[in-house]
């Protein structure tokens, strides 16, 4: 059974700091891994998608890596800003007939001005 764990559960950093969010999963037979951002009371915004054959993806100040063999992914945020404050969720998608996505519990990030 696939389980997704995110560490830390919460993080508070000063503005301008670089930071790393961690995601681990128990079964390496994934189809893809996606990082999302969720603001309070809102839906999820897709940040980065890494296909199982890829090692990393970059978008602006965000970089996500994937190591299937160790069951780990990291989301690197450079030069953090107060607007980055949100909950960040990691999700792995499996192919079992159709698609099935399992989410981690998220990391709540607070960036202090």
Partner 1 sequence: KAGVTQTPRYLIKTRGQQVTLSCSPISGHRSVSWYQQTPGQGLQFLFEYFSETQRNKGNFPGRFSGRQFSNSRSEMNVSTLELGDSALYLCASSPGGREDGPQHFGDGTRLSIL
Q: Which helix (H) or strand (E) holds 9?
A: none
Dmax (CA) for the chain in angstroms is: 47
- Pick from 3, 16, 42, 83 the residue near partner 1 by CB under 8 A: 42
Cα distance between residue 34 and residue 27, in whole Å: 15
Smallest distance, Å, CB 103 to partner 1? 4
Q: Say whether residue 52 binds partner 1 (CB under 8 A).
A: no
Q: What is the DSSP letter of 93?
A: E
Instruction: Reduce the DSSP state of residue 33 to 3 states and report it.
Output: strand
Indicate whether 96 belongs to the interface with partner 1 (CB under 8 A).
yes
Using CB under 8 A as the binding rule, whether residue 46 contacts partner 1 is answered as yes
Binding site for partner 1 (CB under 8 A): 31-32, 34, 36, 41-46, 49, 89, 91, 93, 96-106
């Amino acid at each position: 059974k696939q389980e997704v764990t995110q560490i830390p559960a919460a993080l508070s950093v000063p503005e301008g700091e670089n930071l790393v969010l961690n995601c681990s999963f128990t079964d390496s037979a994934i189809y893809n891994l996606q990082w999302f951002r969720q603001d309070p009371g809102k839906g999820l915004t897709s940040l980065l998608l890494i296909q199982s054959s890829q090692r990393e993806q970059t978008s602006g100040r965000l970089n996500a890596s994937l190591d299937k063999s160790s069951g780990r992914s990291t989301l690197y945020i450079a030069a953090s800003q107060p607007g980055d404050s949100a909950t960040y969720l990691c999700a792995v998608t499996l192919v079992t007939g159709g698609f099935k996505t399992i989410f981690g519990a998220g990391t709540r990030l607070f960036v202090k001005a």
